[in-house]
Amino acid sequence: MSSTPDDDHQLRFELDPEPTPKRPDSAANRGEPDAGRDRLIAAMKPRASRAQVVVAVLMVVVGFGLVLQVRTTHSANDFAGARRGDLIELLDSLEAASQRTQSQIDSLEETKASLQSDTDRNQAALDAAREQVQVLGILAGTIPAQGPGVRITITDPSNAIGSSTLLNALEELRDAGAEAIELNDNVRVVAQTALVDVDDGVEVDGIQLQQPYVIEAIGSAHTLHEAVRFPGGLRDEVETFGGSVKVRELSDIEIASLHQVEQPQYAQTVPQSGG
């Protein structure tokens, strides 16, 4: 079968078609981001620079100042159109309010001064009460005492000195102005102190004293010393029993022993009358 030129041309077209251009691989495109698109999105995002922040703050401050200026101007304009009588009435009202305020201040000042005076009086009374408690505590033997005085040491080799001699010594010291007395660093002598003779010596408030007997007394050291050496006094009495007395004046004596106060069983306080 013979072929025509048209048939040859059609055959060549079918056998050798023109190659079509290849499209980019879609899978590769999906795996790699588009850099241009990312830059575009990043450029569209708002960024607040330091200058923008400063400008914003200044705008807020300026706005606040404008509002304040407007309010002040408006307040001033309220009185600009007021009548003279209204202004005088307003001034009178302000002066009256000022006087009332000053009166309240004066009243508060008077109250403050009165409270201060009451506080001072209460403090003075409290200080006096505390001082009285200290004095009574020393006399009652319930608190320690410290001050000048004498230390008396009585030696009795024959054990002939009894409670009566020690009691006479304590009474002479009290008459000479002794304010606090202690025996053998162990017994505080008070008004209720009891001295009793026992086989081995003297017992004071249930505590037996060991020789030598040591008496410490707080008061005028010179006066107490003279009371011991007075003719017919403690020294002469002790020496008649074959004992001896030594007296030493001291600028500072500390009496630390305390007397245990017992609750009265029969005595009661007398209520004070209201009149």
Residues 92 and 177 both lie in one domain: no
Q: Does 154 fall in a domain?
A: yes
Residues 154 and 235 both lie in one domain: yes
Q: Does 65 fall in a domain?
A: no
pLDDT at 178: 94
Q: Does 274 fall in a domain?
A: no
Q: Does 3 fall in a domain?
A: no
What CATH code is carried by the domain that includes residue 192? 3.30.70.1880
Residues 122 and 224 both lie in one domain: no
Q: Which two tokens stand for residue 12?
A: 């060549």
Q: Does 263 fall in a domain?
A: no
How far apart are the two ends of the chain, measured CA to CA in Å?
164
What domain count does the chain have?
Answer: 2
Instruction: Please compute Rg for the chain using Cα positions.
Output: 56
Residues 177 and 232 both lie in one domain: yes
Residue-number span of the structural domain to which 237 is assigned: 145-255
Q: Does 14 fall in a domain?
A: no
Label each residue of the chain as H, E or C: CCCCHHHHHHHHHHHCCCCCCCCCCHHHHHHCCCHHHHHHHHHHCCCCCHHHHHHHHHHHHHHHHHHHHHHHHHHHHHHHCCCHHHHHHHHHHHHHHHHHHHHHHHHHHHHHHHHHHHHHHHHHHHHHHHHHHHHHHHHHCCCCEEEEEEEEEEECCCCCCCHHHHHHHHHHHHHCCCCEEEECCCEEECCCCCEEEECCEEEECCEECCCCEEEEEECCHHHHHHHHHCCCCHHHHHHHCCCEEEEEEEEEEEECCCCCCCCCCCCCCCCCCCC
Residues 130 and 212 both lie in one domain: no
The pTM of the full predicted model, rounded to 2 decimals, is 0.56
Residues 151 and 225 both lie in one domain: yes
Phi-psi group of 139: left, alpha or beta (phi > 0 → left; psi -120 to 50 → alpha; rest → beta): alpha
Residues 164 and 130 both lie in one domain: no
Q: Does 73 fall in a domain?
A: no
pLDDT at 28: 43
pLDDT at 255: 95
Each of the 275 residues of the chain gets a pLDDT tens digit; together they read 444 444 444 444 444 444 444 554 444 444 445 566 666 555 555 555 555 555 565 566 556 555 555 555 555 455 556 677 766 777 777 888 888 888 888 888 888 888 888 888 888 888 888 888 888 888 889 999 999 999 999 999 988 999 999 999 999 999 999 999 999 999 999 988 999 999 888 999 989 998 899 999 999 999 999 999 888 889 999 999 999 999 999 999 999 999 888 888 888 888 876 54
User: In the block, which residue shows the tokens 């006094």?
Assistant: 233
Residues 136 and 149 both lie in one domain: no
Residue pair 238/165 in contact by the 8 Å Cβ criterion = yes
Residues 155 and 226 both lie in one domain: yes
Cα 149 from Cα 132, distance rounded (Å): 22
Look at residues 163, 151, 245 and name the one whose alpha carbon lies nearest to residue 202. 163
Residues 115 and 157 both lie in one domain: no
Residues 118 and 186 both lie in one domain: no
Residues 231 and 136 both lie in one domain: no
Q: Does 271 fall in a domain?
A: no
